[in-house]
Structure 1
Amino acid sequence: MAIITLTTDFGEKDYFAGAVKGAIYSELDQVRIVDISHSITPFHISEAAYTIKNAYRSFPKGSIHIIGIDSELTPENKHLAVKLDDHYFICANNGILSLLASEINPEKIVEINIHDKIETNFPVLDVFVKVACHLARGGTLEVIGKTVTEIKYLKQYEPTVNSDKKQILGHVIYIDNYGNVITNISRKFFENVRKGRDFTIRARNVSFSEIHEAYSHAINFEVEKDKRREEDGKKLAVFNSAGYIELAIYKSNLKTVGGASTLFGLDYLDTVTINFE
């Protein structure tokens, strides 16, 4: 049975997500629909890119992923269907696939060209659903679009390193539900530049000289609990489950101890630097 996933900024209040599911079931009654998220910040490309990148790999090969973010068709925002890593992605060509295609080359990209057969002001419902159901039936990409070779890349998804290899310049690309701050610096990129050197991570007024493998590794459990000076609310850097450097607060709670984004004063695209000694 085909799997179609949905990642959108529709939220839970409006009818949009429900209408999309209904349209899929009207075309195909034997299909599984999985909601990855409908809580992406409106029009937030990097949130959507980070979310879909770290969710799709858990699905079986051949799964079809509809990404409904900034999907209105314009001369600068064409619609794409992409086969990448044996998965299919349907979205606007607005840079949303940059994070995926920076690591894995797409196997095939087509620019969807069925719009002249469909009247719509809701392309996720009318166009993306048609394409997804066509693929779910075993249809080919060539039928619904013309082959293209490039997608739009957003440079802020890629960290940079200076000429003497002594500094990485990165940015915040995502803030999670706990207020933790995810950078665009992957473990692989960091280790390739580091080469065993000591380092200091800086972001606004906070700094870190260690990156933990798990949140709890920042706590010394050999010390009795009532004698630990810091636990809840302790700041730390960690390689998160997606393989990126994350700046966090241990057991953060936005209603009590706060989160890294608020306590460190960090927001989307803020600068994070790593200096090597």
Structure 2
Amino acid sequence: MTPIITLTTDFGLKDYFVGTLKGTIYKELNDAKIVDISHNVSPFNIQECAYILENSYKHFPEGTIHIVGVDSEPTPENQHIAVLVNGHYFISANNGVIGLITNEIQPEKVVELNIPNPSHGSFPVLDVFVQVACHIARGGTLEVVGKPFDQLKDLREFSPTVTDNGNKIIGSVIYIDAYGNVVTNINRNFFEAYRKGRDFEITARTTKFTKLHNKYSDIINFDLEKSQRKGAGDRLALFNSANYIQLAIYKSDLNTVGGASTLLGLDFRDTVTVTFS
């Protein structure tokens, strides 16, 4: 059975790029199964791409092949690589995306791609990555298309830091979703490891939170009369489905009332601090 091939890019859907990728895969593998993870990654945003991939690939069967079309033009410092990690294949440039995904998981294999007669045009995802994906899908090995590689780019700048003798975590915004919810790089395990049962305060610009919820509706006390309850438009902090601290506006809509990103004035890489007491 032909494995699934996923596509994650910053190409958008206006242009012909995504259709070209799919058409070429189908020409090579007429029984291919192609899944779009996202084509709306912010242009060249490595952290955003890694966040989307890290929290989606685990839901696919082992053996799935993931094509990563973000910042894919090859340079001496941005080599083309293929990686086998956690039973999944990733084909990408060595731009930090795979390093972020494998931060806590040791890859089983990493190769620098070295296919014969590669095209050196401006569309390497088509010219190189699709070829490699189809090779793997036919049962080919990584050793045939690449040589061992041990220089995965490690972007430690995107990891939260701990200061004040373990009393403060300094994190940052790594993703803003379609609702305007603001996702930080502080995950539940990291938070709990330093919290140790203490009270805390989360600060983002001038907004502060002292509670973390597990779902959005947790802010509503259903024992109160409706007029006295919190509800749509109220702010909250929660652990999202990927177990990262997220700042949100209940029932937000970026197209009308706004979301946490606009109403709290937060953007990619802005600082979010957790202070324990």
SS at match of 1:222: coil
Q: Counterpart amino acid of 2:209?
A: F
1:2–1:30 Cα contact (<8 Å) kept? no
* In the alignment, structure 1 residue 222 sits paired with structure 2 residue 231: no
Q: CA deviation at 1:223?
A: 1.3
- 8 Å CA contact 1:186–1:245 kept in 2: the answer is yes
Aligned-partner residue type, residue 259 of structure 2: G
Aligned to 2:172: 171
Contact 2:118/2:128, CA 8 A, preserved across alignment:
no
Q: In the alignment, is residue 250 of structure 1 matched against residue 237 of structure 2?
A: no
1:156 deviates by 3.0
Residue in 1 that maps onto 2:41: 40
> How far apart, CA to CA, are the structure 2 residues paired with 1:227 and 1:244?
30
Contact between 1:118 and 1:127, CA under 8 Å: does it hold in 2? yes
Report the residue type matching 1:265 in the other structure: G
Query: Which amino acid is the alignment partner of residue 7 of structure 1?
Result: T
8 Å contact kept, 2:79–2:94: yes
SS where residue 125 of structure 2 aligns? helix
Q: Stretches of 4+ moved more than 4 A in 1?
A: none
Q: Aligned letter for 1:10? A: F
Separation of aligned partners in 1, 2:116 and 2:156 = 30
- Measured on the aligned residues, the alpha-carbon RMSD in Å equals 1.2
Residues 156 and 171 of structure 1 are in contact (CA less than 8 Å); yes or no, is this contact kept in structure 2? no
The whole-number CA distance in structure 2 between the counterparts of 1:116 and 1:195 is 56
State the aligned residue count.
276
Tell me how far apart the structure 2 counterparts of residues 43 and 4 of structure 1 sit (CA, whole Å): 21
Superimposed CA distance per residue, residues 214-233 of structure 1 (whole angstroms, 9 cap, x where no aligned partner): 011011111122332x3111
Q: What are the within-5 Å matches in structure 2 for residues 127-166 of structure 1?
A: 127-162=128-163, 164-166=165-167
User: Which shows bigger deviation, 193-202 or 154-163?
Assistant: 154-163
**Paired position in structure 2 for 1:103:** 104
Paired residues of 1:156 and 1:269 also in contact (CA < 8 A): no
Query: Take 2:104 and 2:214, find their aligned partners in 1: how far apart are those partners?
Result: 22
Q: Indicate the larger mover: 135-144 or 159-168.
A: 159-168
The answer as to 2:265 corresponding to 1:262 is no
Q: Which runs of 5+ in 2 are unaligned?
A: none
2:7 and 2:68 in contact (8 A); partners too:
yes
CA distance in 2, matches of 1:111, 1:35: 25
Q: Deviations over 1:144-203 (max 9, x none)?
A: 111112310112321111251100011100000000000000000000011101110111
Q: Who is 1:235 aligned against?
A: 235
The equivalent of 2:65 in structure 1 is: 64
Amino acid across the alignment from 1:192: A
- Supply the distance in 2 between the matched residues of 1:84 and 1:139 (Cα, whole angstroms): 16
Decide whether the 8 Å contact of 1:232 with 1:257 is kept in 2. Answer: no
> Equivalent residue of 2:121, what SS?
coil
* Structure 1 runs not aligned, ≥5 long: none
Deviations 1:74-93 (A, max 9, x none): 11211110001000000111
Change (3 A) 1:260 1:116: same
- Counterparts of residues 77-92 of structure 1 (less than 5 Å): 77-92=78-93
Q: 1:128 to 1:158 in 2, by over 3 A?
A: same
- Report the TM-score when normalising by structure 1: 0.97
Structure 1 residue 257, shift from structure 2 partner: 2.5
Q: Deviations over 1:20-76 (max 9, x none)?
A: 001111111121000011111111111111111111011000000001001011112
Q: Structure 2 CA distance, aligned partners of 1:220 and 1:44?
A: 39
- 1:113 deviation in Å? 1.3
Measured in 1, the distance between the counterparts of 2:66 and 2:177 equals 21
SS at match of 1:57: helix
Q: Using the alignment, how far apart are the partners of 2:242 and 2:116 within structure 1?
A: 36
Q: What secondary structure does 2:133 align onto?
A: helix
Q: Which residue of 2 aligns with 1:276?
A: 276
In structure 2, C-alpha distance between the alignment counterparts of 1:164 and 1:48, rounded to whole Å: 32
Is residue 212 from structure 1 mapped to residue 210 from structure 2 by the alignment?
no
Partner of 1:118: 119
Check conservation: 1:200, 1:275, Cα contact below 8 A: yes
CA distance in 2, matches of 1:73, 1:255: 37
Length-normalised TM-score, structure 2: 0.97
